[in-house]
Chains A and B, each alone.
Chain A
């Protein structure tokens, strides 16, 4: 079973607030990802990391930032939230041996609503 956790599950905040979405995994996986998904739409990769001190931008441009100070932790931060940031944010991890085994484990997601 996957052990990857996201908090909070739901977040409603006002415009201009700084927020951090938490993501932790206990599997010791090197590679971690953040995807963004609007209702009924596809997932878009916004950030990923190969390991500690590694962060990369994904396929979809995002105003959010990420950090990877510890293997198990990959938080996502929005410095000033706007209504356009309203979406579901999904965190995932994989073992990163490279090649064929990009088997992702996903958290349950954070549904963010910015008023």
Chain B
């Protein structure tokens, strides 16, 4: 199964951009890249997902490498409320039986 590799933890200053890396060297051509985050004492929430092109939404941007073996989640201006565990997940294409397998993620700490 394709897997992702993320740093265990990162720190960033408040009001600065944050770049969260993810490696997925065994990704196949039809696998989507998803990002979720989990705030303390809550269930995970969807952040963004993409296949090949970079994606933007109101929460974040997703930059996908040309060879698709890595991606970066970009928070443009971090706030204290962005402190969470961020999960990079591959959605393995499986004829309608797609499931999301969560890893241990990156724990992001925001420094005031």
Chain A residues near B (Cβ < 8 Å): 2, 33, 35, 41-43, 45, 48, 58-59, 90-92, 96, 98-100, 102-109
State the CA gap A105–B104 with chains docked (Å): 19
| A92-B91 in contact given A45-B101, A100-B32, A102-B99 (Cβ < 8 Å) | no
| A92-B93 in contact given A43-B102, A102-B99, A103-B49 (Cβ < 8 Å) | no
Most interface-central of A41, A42, A58 (chain B CB within 10 A): A42
| Complex interface: chain B residues within 8 A of A2 (CB) | 45
Chain B residues near A (Cβ < 8 Å): 32, 34, 36, 41-46, 49, 51, 91, 93, 95-96, 98-105
Where chain B touches its partner, the secondary structure class is loop
Say which residue of A90, A91, A104 sits within 8 Å of B100 (CB atoms).
Answer: A104
B82: min CB distance to chain A, Å: 18
State the CA gap A42–B105 with chains docked (Å): 8
| Complex interface: chain A residues within 8 A of B93 (CB) | 99
Could you tell me if B49 and A59 are in contact, using CB atoms closer than 8 angstroms? no
Where chain A touches its partner, the secondary structure class is loop
| A106-B101 in contact given A99-B93, A99-B96, A100-B91 (Cβ < 8 Å) | no
Could you tell me if A98 and B44 are in contact, using CB atoms closer than 8 angstroms? no
> Could you list 11 A-B pairs, sorted by A, with CB under 8 Å?
A33-B99, A42-B104, A42-B105, A43-B44, A59-B101, A92-B43, A102-B98, A104-B36, A104-B100, A107-B43, A109-B43
| Complex interface: chain B residues within 8 A of A90 (CB) | 43-44
CB-nearest residue of chain B to A35: B102
Could you tell me if A103 and B46 are in contact, using CB atoms closer than 8 angstroms? yes
Given contacts A43-B102, A58-B99, A103-B46, 12 further A-B contacts (CB under 8 A): A45-B99, A45-B101, A90-B44, A98-B98, A99-B93, A99-B96, A99-B98, A100-B51, A102-B32, A103-B49, A108-B41, A109-B43
